Chains A and B, each alone.
Chain A
């Protein structure tokens, strides 16, 4: 009988042996403590790798990635039928749903340019400061209170992106200001109004080819979402219900 070499041990640990070969290795392991210890080391390393990377499977998929897989002609306001796809779909329930598409957003922002310029010149108060915190004001506060991403108001200077309940239990909504200068941010509803943990210029991130097709959300906003997101992005029904409940 051939001795058990390291390749066989590795294949045994990786489940790559047929039943007869596996039985031969197991018989040898029962006899040879050094071999058994070697197998335990290999198994421990495999387990360590799984422990390090398997949690990624349960992370919410960033919106900019799932947005790439939306049908190009999805009608506005429909919730895409991810959930209707059986067990595989329910496992990935938190795949984010993107409700307005970059092309539509571009068209809308071009159409809005004139209106936006008027609005921009007529007063640009979108933010107030209270107790050292930034809060939404004016048209931004109004849009956050009233608008639904599932039923976008193309006349509004503000486009609502994703709504979700944060780890702190607040409802947060990402938004893009469609009038120049383009800005984007995240607003979370508090007793004092829509607090703005992130609000800044929505510039294309510099250079990198990997980012060329990134969603309009600046990395800072995306990071703020990723840091707060606990469960699902609201679908149209949840968004409506949240509005009806005063975003509490």
Chain B
């Protein structure tokens, strides 16, 4: 099978997870799906660079993370990146109480610096191991754990979970 076919077919079952990761990175649903679109286009364009013995999910998650960083750089010049009050659209509807809680969480996430937000998305939302996240981000494992600890502290402070 041609590598582009293998990548294209391999990406189909990954779409839900890719959308979840993008939602955690980008915040709003529409922005997240725009990001997924860019990721799919890049992945297909670079299919020849994927080695079949490498996990496709981590390969495409790395593309997603880099595309998100690129997008933030582009947007950062023009406008504020995340309007926390708009980020409520990031999360799924639920009951009102759950919705309010998720709105708060989305706002807290939107306020994290990108370095912290991406470890939250990769480790806590996608469920990558520390090692896998470190490899993907090309940083030492200790950097992942320290960013994660600081991100958690910021989230909990924002959410008032310190009790």
The chain A residues found within 8 Å of chain B, CB to CB, are: 6-7, 10-11, 14, 16, 41-42, 44-46, 48-59, 61-62, 64-66, 68-69, 71, 82, 85, 88-89, 91-92, 95, 208-211, 213-214, 219
Contact = CB atoms under 8 A, between A and B. Distances in A.
Contacts, number: 116
Given A7-B145, A56-B23, A208-B34, 4 more contacts: A45-B156, A46-B124, A52-B91, A62-B33
A69 B15 contact: yes
Nearest to B19: A56
Contacts of A52: 90-92, 102, 105-106
7 contacts: A48-B102, A52-B92, A52-B102, A54-B20, A65-B33, A95-B12, A210-B37
B44 A68 contact: yes
A182 to B, nearest CB: 21
A210 B38 contact: yes
B161 A45 contact: yes
Contacts of A68: 37, 40-41, 44
Contacts of B5: 71
Contacts of B71: 210
B66 interface: no
Contacts of B19: 56-57, 59, 61, 65
Interface string B118-152: 00100111000110000000000000010011001
Nearest to A85: B13
Contacts of A65: 15, 19, 33, 36-37, 40
B68 to A, nearest CB: 11
A28 B8 CA distance: 48
A100 B24 CA distance: 31
The secondary structure that dominates the A interface is helix
A232 B38 CA distance: 25
- Residue of A50, A54, A61 with most chain B CB atoms under a 10 A cut-off: A61
B35 interface: yes
B101 interface: yes
A10 B148 contact: yes
A32 B83 CA distance: 41
A82 B91 CA distance: 28
Contacts of B30: 219
A10 B13 CA distance: 31
Given A48-B101, A213-B41, A42 B16 contact: no
B149 A61 contact: no
- Residue of B8, B17, B152, B159 with most chain A CB atoms under a 10 A cut-off: B152
B15 A95 contact: yes
A213 B37 contact: yes
A147 to B, nearest CB: 27
B37 to A, nearest CB: 6
Contact of A64 (B37, B152, B155): B37
Interface in B26-69: 30, 33-38, 40-41, 44
Contacts of B148: 10, 14
B43 to A, nearest CB: 9
B4 to A, nearest CB: 9
A129 B80 CA distance: 43
B40 A56 contact: no
Nearest to B131: A16
Contacts of B12: 66, 69, 82, 92, 95
Contacts of A85: 13
A14 B8 contact: no
A204 to B, nearest CB: 14
A56 B37 contact: no
A91 B17 CA distance: 12
Contacts of A56: 16, 19-20, 23, 92
B125 A53 contact: yes
